[in-house]
């Protein structure tokens, strides 16, 4: 039977035509006309003060922390159960990541855990919309405002999700998006920084281009303008090729998200009576972008055995995401028991907009057999 990949991008003829247009334009590098159009489209969609198109979400997090003034030794509280890009970004600027445990039902950062970790050295919080589900922003905004801290929303996985009717990506004063190949919309790699503060965005845009600003803009000036390096910057620009793809993908968010929702609904229907797994929980005040579909396995199930059985049948699967505090790179002395438990037990099954409902049924049938084959105390 044909393989069923864990992830698959939804790219087609519209995106190819957009790329061909960029090839013909003569400007394929970053911060050109397509990049500017993408930033304008993001501003309009999210209702933010400004948007900066970047090469990935990690770059957006780094630039956000630089512009927010994080200094060596400053503590930044980060959601623990996630790809560890937020903690990496804190290290980039010499800060200290402090890992906050998460809710057992959603895997999103626990506001009570955040508040308990605040010290005189704390300067801010990075919340994460875990695999596409927004965190508790009413509580998080209240906590950070009360203590005079910044709040950054890592919405890498959450394009199309909502919290209390508002788009993920516009739930904190600064937000970071990802357009990686497994996200809801993609250009293969890519990201964006969104903010209510145009001055913060202007600083991030300058830093993203080595500190000299847009070469494209300089090229439009008659004469010989010579850029000046006004500060240390980075090469974090998004190419116009990728920007053109994303302009098409932005227009397809509704279509692609609806297909993911149909897949999630079918999984929930087929696994409703399966006592060896717990299904994803989505609180009533928010919607999920379904970047991933994570099941929580019964403690008696050998997750590695289940994965081996599915992969032997060509069915993609994965461990979920990471308990960041357990990663050797951090040598963290903290404990985040809920995150650690989810890291041990969560299991990702195929989730993407190209997945057919027949394929979902095949995944579930194989999963049920594998669960029983690898449950130590049940039949």
Q: What is the CATH number of domain 253-373?
A: 3.90.1150.10
Contact 277, 298 (CB under 8 A): yes
CA atoms of 242 and 265, how far apart (whole Å): 31
Task: Note the CATH architecture for domain 13-251.
Answer: 3-Layer(aba) Sandwich (3.40)
- Which DSSP helix (H) or strand (E) runs through 284? none
CA atoms of 140 and 111, how far apart (whole Å): 6
pLDDT score of 356: 98
φ and ψ of 4, to 5 deg: -120, 100
pLDDT score of 23: 93
Contact 301, 333 (CB under 8 A): no
Query: What burial class does residue 328 get, using C-beta atoms within 10 Å of its C-beta: 0-12 exposed, 13-18 middle, 19+ buried?
Result: exposed
Measured in whole angstroms, how far is the alpha carbon of residue 152 from the centre of its chain? 12
Domain ranges of the chain: 13-251, 253-373
Each residue's pLDDT expressed in tens, for the chain with a length of 379 residues: 899 999 999 999 999 999 999 999 988 888 889 999 999 999 999 999 999 999 999 999 999 999 999 999 999 999 999 999 999 999 999 999 999 999 999 999 999 999 999 999 999 999 999 999 999 999 999 999 999 999 999 999 999 999 999 999 999 999 999 999 999 999 999 999 999 999 999 999 999 999 987 778 777 777 888 888 988 999 999 999 999 999 999 999 999 999 999 999 999 999 999 999 999 999 999 999 999 999 999 999 999 999 999 999 999 999 999 999 999 999 888 899 999 999 999 999 999 999 999 999 999 999 999 999 999 975 4
CA atoms of 202 and 317, how far apart (whole Å): 41
Contact 236, 55 (CB under 8 A): yes
Q: Which residues contact 359 (CB under 8 A, 6 or more apart)?
A: 4, 350
Query: Catalytic residue positions?
Result: 183
pLDDT score of 138: 98
Strand 286-287 to strand 162-163: parallel, antiparallel, or no bridges (unpaired)?
antiparallel
CA atoms of 257 and 161, how far apart (whole Å): 9
Contact 306, 370 (CB under 8 A): yes
Give me 212's structure tokens.
């000299």
Query: What burial class does residue 224 get, using C-beta atoms within 10 Å of its C-beta: 0-12 exposed, 13-18 middle, 19+ buried?
Result: exposed
pLDDT score of 218: 73
CA atoms of 99 and 324, how far apart (whole Å): 8
pTM: 0.96
Contact 180, 190 (CB under 8 A): yes
Q: What is the three-class DSSP state of 100?
A: strand
């Amino acid at each position: 039977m044909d393989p069923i990949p864990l992830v698959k991008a939804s790219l087609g003829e519209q995106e190819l035509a957009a790329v061909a247009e960029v090839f013909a334009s003569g400007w394929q590098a970053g911060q050109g006309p397509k990049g500017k159009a993408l930033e304008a489209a993001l501003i309009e969609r999210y209702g933010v003060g400004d948007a900066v198109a970047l090469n990935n979400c990690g770059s957006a997090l780094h630039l956000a922390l630089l512009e927010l003034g994080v200094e060596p030794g400053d503590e930044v509280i980060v959601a623990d159960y996630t790809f560890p890009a937020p903690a990496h970004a804190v290290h980039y600027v010499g800060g200290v990541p402090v890992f906050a445990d998460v809710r057992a039902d959603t895997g999103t950062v626990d506001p009570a855990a955040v508040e308990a970790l605040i010290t005189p050295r704390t300067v801010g919080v990075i919340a994460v919309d875990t695999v596409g589900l927004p965190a508790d922003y009413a509580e998080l905004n209240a906590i950070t405002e009360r203590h005079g801290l910044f709040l950054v929303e890592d919405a890498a996985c959450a394009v199309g999700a909502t919290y209390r009717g508002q788009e993920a990506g516009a739930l904190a004063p600064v937000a970071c998006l990802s357009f990686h190949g497994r996200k809801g919309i993609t250009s293969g790699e890519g990201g964006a920084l969104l903010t209510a503060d145009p001055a913060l965005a202007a600083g991030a845009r300058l830093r993203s281009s080595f500190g000299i600003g847009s070469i494209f803009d300089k090229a439009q000036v008659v004469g010989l303008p010579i850029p000046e390096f006004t500060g240390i910057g980075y090469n974090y620009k998004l190419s116009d090729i990728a920007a053109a793809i994303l302009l098409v993908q932005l227009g397809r968010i509704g279509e692609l998200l609806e297909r993911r929702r149909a897949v999630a609904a079918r999984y929930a229907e087929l696994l409703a009576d399966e006592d060896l797994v717990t299904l994803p929980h989505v609180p009533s005040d928010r919607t999920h972008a379904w970047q991933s579909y994570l099941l929580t396995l019964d403690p008696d199930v050998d997750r590695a055995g289940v994965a081996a059985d599915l992969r032997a049948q060509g069915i993609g699967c994965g461990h979920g995401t990471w308990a960041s505090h357990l990663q050797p790179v951090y040598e963290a002395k903290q404990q985040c028991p809920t995150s650690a438990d989810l890291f041990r037990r969560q299991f990702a099954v195929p989730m993407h907009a190209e997945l057919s409902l027949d394929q979902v049924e095949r995944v579930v049938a194989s999963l049920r057999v594998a669960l029983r084959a690898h449950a130590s105390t049940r039949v």
